[in-house]
Amino acid sequence: MKYPKSLFTIVLFLAASCSLFDKEKESPTNISSLTISPDSLVLVEGQSQQLQLSFTLIDSTIQLEEKINWYSQNDKVAQVKDGIVTGWGHGTTFIFAESKLASDSIPVYVADVKHSGLVKLQNQTDHGAVMVNWLPLEEKKSYGGEREGYVLTDSIGYFILPMLQDGEWLISAEYPYYAPEFDTVTVKNGLLNKVIKSFDLIQQLSFEVVLDTTVFSKNDTIHVKFKAKNLTDKYLEIFSRQMPIYSEGFAFTKNKVPVMMDLPWWGETAYYFYASGVPSFDSRFFEPNEEKFEISDPDKWGEDFNMIIDLNLLKNYGGLEEGVYEVFAGYIANWNYPSDYFNERAKNHHILNSSLFNKLDHLKITIKNK
């Protein structure tokens, strides 16, 4: 049977109209902006990571499930599905997320497996927050400790280096109270000439907090004392990056989280691992396996340098709840050994300093109302 052309046209038009109407009905939008986090990503070949997506709604009163399209600028470098990015080949690309009205993208660098490695800390099960540094070999100085940048290891000690320019590089791993380790690599056309060696850091010092009692009232003052021991069978001189370490410090935590207080002379502050006292000047020298007992001398250094937790004073500024707390102590330097772990102005200070609470020995104390 033959149909008139006009009828065929009407049918097509109606079908197209219904298709457009259904598409608009099925694909409403309420997202005005998208943000991918993190804002950049470094992977090695074969590694995957889930990206997080946050968005701003046009109308927050409307609940709407809107499809987000993910895609990679170069599938040969990295691929993405439902926000999970997988590295496929060495190089740099961009990952995109798009809704009807909004989009965002982040750069992704996929490193050759040689760019990754492991760091292990002796006597530890948590190997996280170890600094892995890189420095052009020609810039290395005799006293060491310089770096162009660094990444931190995860809890198992795994790290990935970023893309490095062609040339010779010094790679180092360092953590407080451990002997640093080094390796050298050559980068050509963005690729390393060898696998970075595994870094096994040897612990040099241990610390033990020593108090006459472990139960205190809110009227007491705690004078923090500690023992330091050279764990090696070698003569040891404790240096920061460029000078000997003279300072001692302590941290006061609850459930391994630094105690927060709002003090008028400091403002809101926390008992992180800061410089708090000055021991005798020979503390940096250790004979093999030597143990030292450290207590700050208020007559010599004054109140500002005492290793003190004044519970009676804190009582006037909100005080502390009854409960169990932890006290840590050790030798520190504000800017080094290695730098940033004890420097409250450092970018990653809280991560670095808090990592010590999972690794250092501590003493548990109990605070009671009376």
Looking at residue 319, what is its pLDDT?
Answer: 74
Domain boundaries of the chain, sorted by first residue: 31-111, 113-201, 205-368
Q: Report pLDDT digits (tens) over 187-245.
A: 998 888 998 999 999 999 999 999 989 999 988 888 888 999 999 999 988 766 555 56
Looking at residue 12, what is its pLDDT?
Answer: 32
113-201: CATH architecture: Sandwich (2.60)
List of residues 6+ apart from 160 with CB closer than 8 A: 42, 43, 44, 111, 115, 116, 151
Closest CA to 225 of 238, 207, 237, 239: 207
Q: Which fold has domain 31-111?
A: Immunoglobulin-like (2.60.40)
Q: Report pLDDT digits (tens) over 42-71.
A: 888 888 999 999 888 877 666 667 788 999
Looking at residue 84, what is its pLDDT?
Answer: 95
More confident residue, 7 or 313: 313
Confidence bin at 142 (pLDDT 50/70/90): low
Half-sphere exposure of 57 (CA within 13 A, CB side): 10
Would the CATH topology of 31-111 be identical to that of 113-201?
A: yes
Q: Report pLDDT digits (tens) over 346-370.
A: 788 888 888 999 899 999 999 998 7
Six-digit token pair at 312?
Answer: 């009676």
Burial 10-29 (b: 16+ CB within 10 A, else e): eeeeeeeeeeeeeeeeeeee
Give the distance, in angstroms, between the CA of residue 264 and the centroid of all CA atoms in the same chain: 30
